[in-house]
Structure 1
Amino acid sequence: MSAGPTQTRRPARATPRTHHRLLLRRPVAGRANVPVGPPARADASTAPASVRKPAARVGLVRTALVLTDVVAAGTAVLVVAPTGRDGVVAASVLLLAVRSAARLHRSRLRLSWFDDLPRELAALLVTMGLVLAGAMAVQQNLDTRIDVAGPVEVVLLATLVALALRAAVLFAARLLRVRRGVGEPTLIVGTGSRAMELDETMRAHPEYGLRPLGHVLSEDLDLVVERERAALSARIRDAAARHRVRVVVFACHTVDDAAVLDAAIEARRDGLGVLLLPWLSELVHDHSGVERLRSIPLLRLPPDPRNRLSWRLKRLGDVVVSALALALVSPLLVAVAVAVLVESGRPVIFRQERIGLDNRPFTVLKFRSMRPVDEREQHTQWSIAGDARVGPVGRLIRRTSLDELPQLWNILRGDMSLVGPRPERPSFVERFSAEHERYTARHRVPVGLTGLAQISGLRGDTSIADRVRHDNYYIANWSLWLDAQIVVRTARELVRRGRH
């Protein structure tokens, strides 16, 4: 449902003069990083298809750690199973799931066996607790005694084997990084002493697995011209294709830099690893999202939501829920259609062009809540709240959001998702994109029937800037659990509005 803009337009800034340079550096005896000439200028609109999407790959260390856990669990099952005890296979599978949830297989720069000991202990305790809780539940329901000795032995033995194998894998990985130069080809985006310090530290300490290939430099990173933003993203993509770059480190401390934001978003979408050098890095405390390159903290961004397995589950959920909902509410759909037809005639369904994923247009479906308007009005009128042409039926279906039910068909088709930023008309997308630099970033995921902004009270005549912040927060922190929370809160809000 659309709402009126309340933000004043920011004064246009003078277009800065910008120059991007990609400097590929090779170590020279007795000297640090000597620049070697820049490649030909890359442009986002002319980049070949092979350049646009470098293939993502799973890290070798991460794969090896997964295999060690599988081998450890299998070994424990083979040792304990011949004793005839039950539940050993289930316990091993449970242990693997908990260790994965504890992020013991995550990508990391510092390969330290000791750093993971707290996670190892936590995974062991959680698994043991789940095994004991499951045994107690079975005993109460089936009124039979469950022998937990087998599952407990499997969990303990698998953990001990995993600890030994992990130590060997991490030692071998460090050796390969130092002796054989095995590491992720890395590009640094930024200027100044901090960017150079990153470059020098990576070269001096190959055990962290980053092999710097060069810098993307800009004389002025405060970029506002759209083609310059695209040029920065295109240069990173070009470097990824030409030099097999797998990691991009952003060492830019300019404030409100839309070009760097766009480049980081595109790098994540292309499957590249993205690390950020935080501002005031000396005050950054270690936590699960912080990596250390020696004493330099780097924030590792999680993979782009659409590159995760859980995103495929989100799409599967959209299909199942929308299909079931259409079947269950079909009588209600018929009733609303008849009511709209009686009140204001045909057409019952209102079709309007909206902007969805990757700024692609699609046709959104809604029950019509007022008499037909001309083509120009539906594209330029922001809100119809208080419009005299909205009758009693129109007011009811708008207040209860019943007018949005046909969008279940949009979700089933794949135009939309159940949860995501709300779609807007092309003319307003163009206007808000000019007024709010972060507005276009919300189109990097599919639009939704409901969203975080809507359940946060940002409906009707509310701030566009606040909506943009909520939408981008949702994308940055997306998870299936966050989607579930939004759906539940949306249902609760609809029930409340239906009572009034």
Structure 2
Amino acid sequence: MPGETCSGRRPEGRLVVNRASATATAPLPPGTPVEPRRDLFGRVNAVAVLLVVVDVVAIGVVAAALSPVWAGAVAAVLLGVRATRRLYRRRLWLSWLHDLPRSVIATATAFALVTGVTLVFGTAPETTSDVQWAILKFTAWSEPGRLFVFAFGRWARRRFNRCDRTIVVGAGKVGATLATSMLQHPEYGLRPVGFVDPAPALDPKVLPVPMLEANLAEAITRVGAGSVVLAFSRAADSPLVNAAITAHRLGCAIFVVPRMYELYQDGPDVERLRSYPLTRLSTAPTSRPSWWVKRAVDVVLAGVALVALAPVIAVCALAVLLESGRPVIFRQVRVGMDDRTFVLYKLRSVRITDQDDSQSRWSVVGDRRVGPVGRFLRRSSLDELPQLWNILKGDMSIVGPRPERPGFVREFSAVHDLYWARHRVPTGLTGLAQVHGLRGDTSIVDRSRYDNYYIANWSLWLDARILLLTVGELLCRRNR
């Protein structure tokens, strides 16, 4: 909830010419409407669904001999642990042998958990034995079914070309080899439809698929791509980070060829396309089921806070009215998610003048227009409370990057790398940058870095941590 405006210092960094619109990895310019993929069928992975079905059927077979209570417990533990171990994830390499160790470890973990529960509750030895045998029998039923699903998935991809349309960023040797492998081995589920690279290392005539337009966002939209593979490019002004963020905002799956890939080991987020390791980047936060939980929490907390703090808001509004008259609510246009603008509400802390320069003037420490009431509201962050209404309306979230004015967004986006990427999620009443003391006369670069870190690592627990840190900041008045 700390204040978000800067004081009189200009933003850090030297002004550079933004040539992004002409490059393959161009970020979406501020104001560009973003329309991510919305086709539900394209998002559903048949192999993942079949793996869930196999496990559910196997549990149903072995749990029939158990009591309803223990059958439910075994089902919940097995499915929960196996889901946590990401056995139902989307994947390129459909290999039962490659996935077998992960599956065995998950089942062994479920076995240990259920056994521990029976010991804690003093269950009869016969019941404990029945539950343990049920989990062992589950393995005997489940693993052959998983073997069949993987084999069927590979066959279906080859036979029916059930592959994701893919753009390769980087028309060099590595990119060309990857595209060729995709064409020769459709069982990996990727079908290359074109390259994007402003400075291709190879002659476009020798590439296995054609070159597309230079702008990645336009190429994704035109060919309906669902995946983007980031290979190596020699274009100096074509950062792959911009390409990844652009693809994220358009709802694509993103695979990155890591540096020194020859030495790269397999890991939880590493896919294999033949001999090439591909790091799968996590999906955009707004596309995850837990994001709906975040929105529900926002609505509940904002609604409760508005009701509980209504007397406080009323007293503050009366103080503003007595000090400087009407209006008591200050309205200002800010930039939110996907560069869409909205009207932000605050309690007015600055006396009204003949000229409204709120969209272009920084908040300056010691501004004579700010009276005692205004200074108190800013220092205590009580002037931010009307933004709870913005949260209820869906303009903002409780936690997220702080919103800025359109003119400064354009200026910062031209000067600071990845400032524009902050708008991948809704803006917030408080954020990771603010709880680390980045308010007022502080670095725009550092704020942007914290905001992008927040988006890349978002989780419900991270939101909870930020809320706790915000309460601590307000109570202890640190960094003020």
Name the structure, 1 or 2, with higher relative contact order (CA <8 Å, separation 6+).
Answer: 2
User: Is structure 2 residue 59 aligned with structure 1 residue 73?
Assistant: yes
Which of these residues, 212, 216, 220, is aligned with residue 192 of structure 2?
212
1:256–1:475 Cα change, 3 Å: farther
1:64–1:403 Cα change, 3 Å: same
- The whole-number CA distance in structure 1 between the counterparts of 2:18 and 2:351 is 45
1:2–1:468 Cα change, 3 Å: same
Which residue identity is paired with 1:250? L
1:495–1:114 Cα change, 3 Å: farther
Q: Which residue of 1 aligns with 2:95?
A: 112
Gaps of 5+ in 1: 21-42, 222-227
- The whole-number CA distance in structure 2 between the counterparts of 1:219 and 1:178 is 33
1:326–1:155 Cα change, 3 Å: farther
1:321–1:149 Cα change, 3 Å: farther
Which residue identity is paired with 1:95? L
CA-to-partner distance for each residue in 1:353-381, whole Å, 9 max, x for gaps? 11111211111111222322455331222
1:448–1:254 Cα change, 3 Å: farther
- Asked if 1 retains the 8 angstrom alpha-carbon contact of 2:199 and 2:234, the reply is no
Shift of 1:196: 0.9
- Does 114-123 or 164-173 show the bigger shift? 114-123
CA-to-partner distance for each residue in 1:82-128, whole Å, 9 max, x for gaps? xx473221320232122112110111122222322332244234434
- The whole-number CA distance in structure 1 between the counterparts of 2:38 and 2:71 is 42
Which residue identity is paired with 1:76? V
Which residue identity is paired with 1:186? T
- Does 174-183 or 254-263 show the bigger shift? 254-263
- Asked if 1 retains the 8 angstrom alpha-carbon contact of 2:198 and 2:235, the reply is no
CA-to-partner distance for each residue in 1:138-182, whole Å, 9 max, x for gaps? 67xxxx989545544443433442222111211222333455554
Shift of 1:289: 1.4
Which residue identity is paired with 2:330? F
Shift of 1:303: 2.0
Q: Which residue of 1 aligns with 2:430?
A: 450
User: Is structure 2 residue 43 aligned with structure 1 residue 57?
Assistant: yes
- SS of the residue corresponding to residue 378 of structure 1 reads coil
User: Is structure 2 residue 213 aligned with structure 1 residue 233?
Assistant: no
Q: Which residue of 2 aligns with 1:278?
A: 258
Map 1:152-171 to 2 at 5 A: 152-171=132-151
1:15–1:414 Cα change, 3 Å: closer
- The whole-number CA distance in structure 2 between the counterparts of 1:256 and 1:472 is 22
- Asked if 2 retains the 8 angstrom alpha-carbon contact of 1:355 and 1:425, the reply is yes
CA-to-partner distance for each residue in 1:271-322, whole Å, 9 max, x for gaps? 3322122233234332211112122111112222222211111111111111
Shift of 1:203: 3.0
- The whole-number CA distance in structure 1 between the counterparts of 2:410 and 2:136 is 59
1:48–1:333 Cα change, 3 Å: closer
Gaps of 5+ in 2: 202-211
- Asked if 1 retains the 8 angstrom alpha-carbon contact of 2:166 and 2:226, the reply is yes
Q: Which residue of 2 aligns with 1:97?
A: 80
- SS of the residue corresponding to residue 118 of structure 1 reads helix
Map 1:18-417 to 2 at 5 A: 53=37, 55=39, 56-78=42-64, 80-81=65-66, 84=67, 86-132=69-115, 134=117, 148-178=128-158, 181-219=161-199, 231-240=215-224, 245-253=225-233, 257=237, 261-417=241-397
- The whole-number CA distance in structure 2 between the counterparts of 1:109 and 1:17 is 32
- The whole-number CA distance in structure 1 between the counterparts of 2:83 and 2:93 is 19
Shift of 1:496: 1.2
- Asked if 1 retains the 8 angstrom alpha-carbon contact of 2:198 and 2:214, the reply is no
Shift of 1:414: 0.5
Q: Which residue of 2 aligns with 1:10?
A: 14
1:493–1:257 Cα change, 3 Å: farther
- Asked if 1 retains the 8 angstrom alpha-carbon contact of 2:36 and 2:251, the reply is no
- Asked if 1 retains the 8 angstrom alpha-carbon contact of 2:15 and 2:414, the reply is no
- Asked if 2 retains the 8 angstrom alpha-carbon contact of 1:44 and 1:231, the reply is no
- Asked if 2 retains the 8 angstrom alpha-carbon contact of 1:65 and 1:169, the reply is yes
- Asked if 2 retains the 8 angstrom alpha-carbon contact of 1:44 and 1:234, the reply is no
Shift of 1:472: 1.4
- SS of the residue corresponding to residue 376 of structure 1 reads coil
1:253–1:459 Cα change, 3 Å: farther
- Does 5-14 or 264-273 show the bigger shift? 5-14
1:232–1:211 Cα change, 3 Å: closer
- The whole-number CA distance in structure 1 between the counterparts of 2:184 and 2:301 is 53
1:85–1:305 Cα change, 3 Å: closer
1:112–1:281 Cα change, 3 Å: same
Which residue identity is paired with 1:273? A
- Asked if 1 retains the 8 angstrom alpha-carbon contact of 2:167 and 2:193, the reply is yes
- The whole-number CA distance in structure 2 between the counterparts of 1:257 and 1:71 is 53
- The whole-number CA distance in structure 1 between the counterparts of 2:281 and 2:232 is 15
1:415–1:374 Cα change, 3 Å: farther
CA-to-partner distance for each residue in 1:343-402, whole Å, 9 max, x for gaps? 333322221111111211111111222322455331222123322343333333322222
- The whole-number CA distance in structure 2 between the counterparts of 1:260 and 1:349 is 43
- The whole-number CA distance in structure 2 between the counterparts of 1:213 and 1:481 is 39
User: Is structure 2 residue 451 aligned with structure 1 residue 480?
Assistant: no
- The whole-number CA distance in structure 1 between the counterparts of 2:236 and 2:425 is 22
- The whole-number CA distance in structure 2 between the counterparts of 1:17 and 1:106 is 35
TM-score normalised per structure 2: 0.85
